């Protein structure tokens, strides 16, 4: 409980114009970042970009991370002083790439070098942070934009800490998006006595179609990931976003020539991206679905992150280089 003397002084910062304006700017900035997290961006990526562009200062990082991830979006978190030195994150990256239903953010504090915001799916910021020193503080946040069973996020946060030390963890139910299919059958109500069985069968078939799309007929039988939604966060998905997506997919297929990226919109398979994404058709907030076909789909989460970026106002980051340039993203 806050004592009366402390409670009565909580708003002293707001008693002066400078303090009030500082707080107001911080609130507006945090609210802006909330939109990015809600659209599926990793907060570490969002804040690192903001720091590079000098839109936010280091002292704002911890308040923003806590208010958005822990308070607003209900992420679970685990804090500890590192038990040993961490020199490699290869194990961490390999495992978390398969956690398509979990978003992970790490906040590492170096006594000499300040705060590092780290996304296990983006190795670039890790270069400045590694090696992580023993006894320094690290906080792991684990969340999901989907509903998950109680305990899943707590387990994920704890498992991330174990992965940092190179230990093996068991993938639990809820870590992957496809595991929501099992939950659907467990939650699906039984048919009422007077309800036609055909209606229930149709409902289940409809849900299956949403979660696991039919494999393409050309090229033989292939494994196919579940459909993954990418929300458009630009005002319109215009020609620049289209070109960004083309380059992202080309880069993915260059790294994984045996895999194919399938695009879906309003339940329909889209073979020609240009034919779909005409000016004004796909607007802000509209989801576009994609799935990956092939024997061993990989880099799914990284592909999702780049496609989110390509559907946002930051699409220009993928347009550098001469026409025909294939980016090295994967």
Q: Judge whether 271 and 237 are in contact, CB under 8 Å.
A: no
Written as one string, the DSSP assignment of 119-146 is -TT--TTHHHHPSBPTT-EEEEEEE-SS
Q: Answer yes or no: is 272 within a domain.
A: yes
Q: Check whether residue 155 and residue 43 sit in a common domain.
A: yes
Q: Check whether residue 146 and residue 230 sit in a common domain.
A: no
The whole-number pLDDT of residue 188 equals 40
State the Cα–Cα distance between residues 273 and 279, nearest whole angstrom.
Answer: 12
In total, how many domains does the chain have?
2
Helix 197-211 / helix 180-187 crossing angle, nearest 10 deg: 160
Instruction: Count CB atoms within 10 A of the CB of residue 19.
Output: 13
Q: What are phi and psi of 117, to 5 degrees?
A: -95, 125
| Residue numbers of the chain with a pLDDT score lower than 70 | 1-11, 13-15, 17, 19-27, 39, 177-222, 226, 275-280
Residue 114 gets the label, from left (phi > 0), alpha (psi -120 to 50) or beta, of left
Compute, in degrees rounded to 10, the torsion defined by CA atoms 132, 108, 38, 282: -40
Q: Answer yes or no: is 8 within a domain.
A: no
The whole-number pLDDT of residue 22 equals 65
Residue 150, CA distances (Å) to 57, 145, 153 in order: 35, 14, 8
- End-of-domain residue from the set 138, 164, 190: 164
Q: Check whether residue 131 and residue 255 sit in a common domain.
A: no
The whole-number pLDDT of residue 191 equals 46
Q: Answer yes or no: is 201 within a domain.
A: no
Q: Which two tokens stand for residue 140?
A: 């792991």
- End-of-domain residue from the set 125, 141, 164: 164
Read off the pLDDT of residues 254-289 as tens digits, 9 standing for 90 and up: 999 999 999 988 777 888 887 666 655 788 878 888
Residue 315 gets the label, from left (phi > 0), alpha (psi -120 to 50) or beta, of alpha
- End-of-domain residue from the set 164, 182, 202: 164
Read off the pLDDT of residues 183-215 as tens digits, 9 standing for 90 and up: 433 444 444 444 444 444 445 444 444 444 444
Q: What are phi and psi of 238, to 5 degrees?
A: -100, -170
Helix 17-38 / helix 43-52 crossing angle, nearest 10 deg: 130
Q: What is the span of the domain harbouring residue 270?
A: 222-318
Per the confidence metrics, is the pTM higher than 0.85? no
Q: What is the CATH number of the domain that holds 158?
A: 3.30.1340.10
The whole-number pLDDT of residue 6 equals 52
């Amino acid at each position: 409980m806050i004592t009366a003397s402390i409670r009565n002084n909580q708003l002293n910062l707001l008693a002066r114009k400078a303090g009030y304006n500082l707080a107001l700017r911080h609130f507006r900035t945090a609210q802006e970042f909330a939109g990015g997290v809600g659209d599926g961006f990793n907060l570490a990526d969002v804040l690192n970009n903001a720091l590079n562009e000098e839109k936010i200062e280091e002292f704002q990082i911890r308040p923003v991370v806590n208010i958005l991830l822990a308070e607003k979006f209900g992420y679970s978190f685990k804090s500890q002083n590192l038990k040993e030195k961490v020199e490699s994150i290869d194990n961490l990256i390999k495992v978390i790439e398969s956690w398509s239903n979990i978003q992970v953010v790490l906040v590492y504090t170096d006594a000499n070098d300040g705060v590092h915001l780290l996304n296990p799916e983006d190795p670039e910021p890790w270069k400045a942070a590694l090696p992580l020193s023993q006894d320094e503080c690290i906080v792991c946040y684990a969340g999901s934009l989907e509903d998950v069973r109680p305990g899943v996020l707590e387990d994920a946060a704890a498992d991330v800490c174990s992965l940092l030390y190179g230990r093996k963890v068991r993938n639990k139910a809820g870590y992957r998006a496809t595991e929501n299919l099992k939950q659907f059958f467990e939650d699906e109500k039984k048919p009422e006595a007077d309800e036609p069985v055909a209606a229930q069968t149709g409902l289940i078939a409809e849900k299956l179609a949403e979660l696991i799309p039919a494999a393409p007929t050309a090229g033989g039988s292939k494994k196919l990931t579940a459909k993954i939604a990418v929300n458009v966060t630009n005002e319109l998905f215009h020609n620049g976003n289209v070109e960004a997506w083309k380059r992202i997919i080309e880069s993915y297929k260059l790294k994984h020539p045996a895999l194919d990226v399938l695009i879906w919109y309003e339940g329909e398979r889209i073979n020609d991206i240009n034919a779909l994404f005409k000016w004004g058709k796909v607007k802000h907030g509209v989801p576009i679905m994609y799935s990956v076909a092939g024997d061993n789909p990989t880099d799914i989460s990284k592909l999702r992150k780049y496609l989110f970026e390509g559907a946002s106002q930051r699409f220009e980051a993928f347009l550098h280089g001469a026409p025909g340039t294939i980016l090295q993203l994967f």
